[in-house]
């Protein structure tokens, strides 16, 4: 079917000339005044409109045409409206564009120029509507931005709905890259606090010497470099939610102060003497074993029971079945829209490699690999080579899934360490996992720590 084009002009001869010139490419609909234009638009819903500004009852002024422009856009703001008029004064053109016109062309119109302009308009309109449809589909398939259709993830979403309205602290457990911060944001958005701040802090990324000031704030002159009073993250989150990622990295002395805040909802800034009352919900997350930390004396037991009133365990990506392919294809759609590539898809061997890969970096690793492959590939099909995935043959008889997974993980960690000359930070970054997770995997898989430290 040819795309529909609405021509609005009070001159019947001009309308007829344009119809004959453009009827080969477009299904032409015509109107001679504002009410007729609105009626034809509602019936036919054209993506592009050619609009004359000089319409009856006052064709000598642009007011009726500008009113038509405004009413058409009110019916569908995505409509591309090209103003075609003999009133070529600059101020009128600026008014039309300011009111939402896509472009403006003077009478008599050069047909070759007009055809090029129309072609561009219809192309842009098609892309915008396609983008809107994809976004709508993605919104329907997500829960607060999270993807997941399998039973375990649906249970997670149900649990979020249950705990969000309460004020209870939540501890989110899961490997690095499983989406713990997204879960924390979902809890905040589903709670009565959603109109207030969501403040996230990665406890493993802050030096121990700065941790107390970062959380609780400081008074002017309380230490060297404290040139002015500064609110901490807890105070900044007042009325909202504080997300403490990698909470197991908080030093013991600060754990004591954090426990007091959780019990009393009051804080003191570093160097301050005044207690400040705050109303903050705390959501924490970790990929470490806090119970092991309690046994070793690195994490307080009383703090654990304060932050873990509700515990929520996120499954690793490798345990999410067909979700893996679904998430990969959704990421590919989104990334193609971002980078302006169309028609990209995964080859069968890429989908097979995606399903077989152990994904030690979980969803974050998957997203990074899909993004890199979409940017770098020159064809329309993304292969397993584009994804830089390790090929694995079918497991030999007698080898369990656990053994096969550990074998692959060991191979990938050793390759990353070799590539980066033993530098843990660089190797972990390539695999899309945190340093603590990398160390845990090395310990679990019996990989010797390299001599070089970073």
pLDDT for res 412? 84
DSSP, res 53? S
Which of 97, 112, 138 is at the close of a domain?
Answer: 138
Its pTM stands at: 0.59
229 and 198 belong to one structural domain: yes
What is the tens place of the pLDDT at every residue in 155-202? 999 999 999 999 999 999 999 889 999 999 999 999 999 999 999 999
pLDDT for res 126? 82
CA 240, chain centre distance (Å) = 21
293 and 180 belong to one structural domain: yes
Contacts 24+ apart (CB under 8 A), 14-18: 14/52, 14/107, 18/50, 18/109
Which of 315, 348, 378 is at the close of a domain?
Answer: 315
Three-state DSSP at 319 gives helix
162 and 264 belong to one structural domain: yes
Three-state DSSP at 311 gives strand
Angstrom distance (rounded) from CA 8 to CA 83: 10
Angstrom distance (rounded) from CA 182 to CA 188: 10
pLDDT for res 453? 47
Average pLDDT on 12-18 reads 91
Helix (H) or strand (E) holding 103: strand 103-106
251 and 344 belong to one structural domain: no
398 and 261 belong to one structural domain: no
411 and 309 belong to one structural domain: no
Angstrom distance (rounded) from CA 55 to CA 61: 8
359 and 306 belong to one structural domain: no
Confidence of residue 136 (pLDDT cuts 50, 70, 90): low
Question: DSSP E strands: which ranges in 333-412?
Answer: 345-346, 381-382
Asked if the structure places residue 10 within a domain, the reply is yes
Q: Taking a C-beta distance cutoff of 8 angstroms, is the pair 243, 200 a contact?
A: yes
Q: What sign has the CA pseudo-torsion 317, 149, 180, 375?
A: positive
Using the predicted structure, report yes or no on whether residue 428 has a pLDDT greater than 80. Answer: yes
Asked if the structure places residue 207 within a domain, the reply is yes
Which residue, among 390, 416, 418, has the nearest Cα to 404 in the 3D structure? 390
Asked if the structure places residue 48 within a domain, the reply is yes
Q: How many domains does the chain have?
A: 3
Average pLDDT on 330-357 reads 86
CATH of the domain at 356: 1.10.8.60
Angstrom distance (rounded) from CA 132 to CA 312: 33
158 and 297 belong to one structural domain: yes
Q: 33 or 272: which carries more pLDDT confidence?
A: 33
Which residue, among 195, 284, 270, 191, has the nearest Cα to 235 in the 3D structure? 270
Q: Taking a C-beta distance cutoff of 8 angstroms, is the pair 41, 72 a contact?
A: yes
Using the predicted structure, report yes or no on whether residue 385 has a pLDDT greater than 80. Answer: yes
385 and 437 belong to one structural domain: yes
pLDDT for res 141? 58
Using the predicted structure, report yes or no on whether residue 94 has a pLDDT greater than 60. Answer: yes
14 and 72 belong to one structural domain: yes
Asked if the structure places residue 41 within a domain, the reply is yes
Angstrom distance (rounded) from CA 362 to CA 56: 64
Asked if the structure places residue 454 within a domain, the reply is no
Angstrom distance (rounded) from CA 174 to CA 152: 13
327 and 428 belong to one structural domain: yes
Angstrom distance (rounded) from CA 103 to CA 93: 9
What is the tens place of the pLDDT at every residue in 67-81? 999 999 999 988 999
pLDDT for res 227? 73
pLDDT for res 131? 66
CATH of the domain at 256: 3.40.50.300
pLDDT for res 392? 47
* Strand pairing category for 146-147 and 142-143: antiparallel
Q: 225 or 316: which carries more pLDDT confidence?
A: 316
Confidence of residue 237 (pLDDT cuts 50, 70, 90): very high
What is the tens place of the pLDDT at every residue in 261-315? 999 999 998 888 888 999 999 999 999 889 999 999 999 999 999 999 999 999 9
pLDDT for res 408? 79
CA 429, chain centre distance (Å) = 20
CATH of the domain at 98: 3.40.50.2300
Asked if the structure places residue 121 within a domain, the reply is yes
Asked if the structure places residue 452 within a domain, the reply is no
Structural domain that includes position 45: 4-138
Q: Is 215 exposed, middle or buried (0-12, 13-18, 19+ CB in 10 A)?
A: buried
Which residue, among 351, 360, 352, 425, has the nearest Cα to 177 in the 3D structure? 360
Confidence of residue 396 (pLDDT cuts 50, 70, 90): very low
Q: 243 or 404: which carries more pLDDT confidence?
A: 243
Query: CA 12, 13, 16, 20: dihedral to nearest 10 degrees?
Result: -170
Q: Rounded mean pLDDT of the chain?
A: 86
Angstrom distance (rounded) from CA 31 to CA 71: 15
- One DSSP character per residue, 155-216 reads HHHHHHHHHTTS---EEEE--TTS-HHHHHHHHHHTSTTTTS-EEEEEGGGS-HHHHHHHHH
252 and 338 belong to one structural domain: no
Asked if the structure places residue 450 within a domain, the reply is no
Which of 264, 288, 315 is at the close of a domain?
Answer: 315
Which of 128-137, 289-298, 423-432 shows the highest mean pLDDT? 289-298
């Amino acid at each position: 079917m040819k795309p529909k084009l609405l021509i609005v002009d009070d001159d019947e001869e001009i309308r007829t000339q344009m119809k004959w010139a453009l009827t080969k490419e477009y299904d032409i609909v015509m109107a001679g005044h504002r009410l007729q234009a609105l009626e034809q638009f509602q019936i036919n819903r054209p993506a592009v409109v050619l609009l004359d500004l000089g319409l009856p009852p006052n064709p000598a002024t642009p007011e009726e045409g500008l009113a038509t422009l405004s009413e058409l856009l009110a019916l569908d703001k995505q409509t591309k409206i090209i103003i075609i008029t003999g009133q070529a004064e600059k101020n009128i053109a600026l008014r039309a564009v300011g009111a939402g016109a896509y472009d403006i062309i003077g009478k008599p119109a050069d047909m070759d120029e007009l055809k090029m302009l129309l072609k561009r308009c219809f192309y842009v309109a098609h892309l915008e509507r396609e983008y809107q449809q994809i976004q709508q589909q993605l919104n329907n398939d997500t829960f607060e931005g999270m993807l997941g259709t399998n039973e375990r993830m649906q249970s997670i979403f149900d649990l979020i709905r249950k705990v969000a309205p309460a004020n209870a602290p939540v501890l989110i457990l899961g490997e690095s890259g499983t989406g713990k911060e997204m879960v924390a944001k979902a809890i905040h958005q589903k709670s009565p606090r959603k109109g207030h701040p969501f403040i996230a802090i990665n406890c493993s990324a802050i030096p121990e010497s700065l941790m107390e000031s970062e959380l609780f704030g400081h008074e002017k002159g309380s230490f060297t470099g404290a040139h002015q009073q500064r609110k901490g993250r807890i105070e900044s989150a007042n009325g909202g939610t504080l997300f403490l990622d990698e909470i197991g990295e908080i030093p013991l002395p600060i754990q004591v102060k954090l426990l007091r805040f959780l019990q009393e909802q009051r804080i003191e800034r570093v160097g301050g003497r005044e207690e400040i009352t705050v109303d903050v919900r705390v959501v924490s997350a970790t990929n470490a074993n806090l119970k092991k930390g309690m046994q070793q004396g690195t994490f307080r037991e009383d703090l654990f029971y304060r932050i873990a009133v509700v515990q929520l365990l996120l499954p690793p990506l490798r345990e999410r079945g067909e979700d893996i392919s679904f998430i990969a294809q959704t990421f590919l759609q989104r990334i193609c829209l971002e980078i302006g590539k169309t028609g990209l898809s995964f080859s069968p061997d890429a989908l097979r490699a995606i399903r077989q890969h152990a994904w030690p970096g979980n969803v974050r690793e998957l997203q990074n690999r899909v993004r890199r492959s979409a940017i770098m590939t020159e064809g329309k099909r993304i292969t397993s080579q584009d994804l830089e995935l390790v090929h694995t043959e079918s497991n030999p008889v007698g080898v369990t899934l656990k053994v096969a997974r550990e074998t692959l993980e060991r191979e990938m960690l050793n390759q990353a360490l070799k590539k980066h000359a033993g530098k843990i930070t660089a190797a972990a970054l390539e695999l899309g996992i945190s340093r603590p997770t990398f160390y845990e995997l090395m310990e679990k898989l019996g990989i010797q720590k390299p001599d070089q430290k970073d």
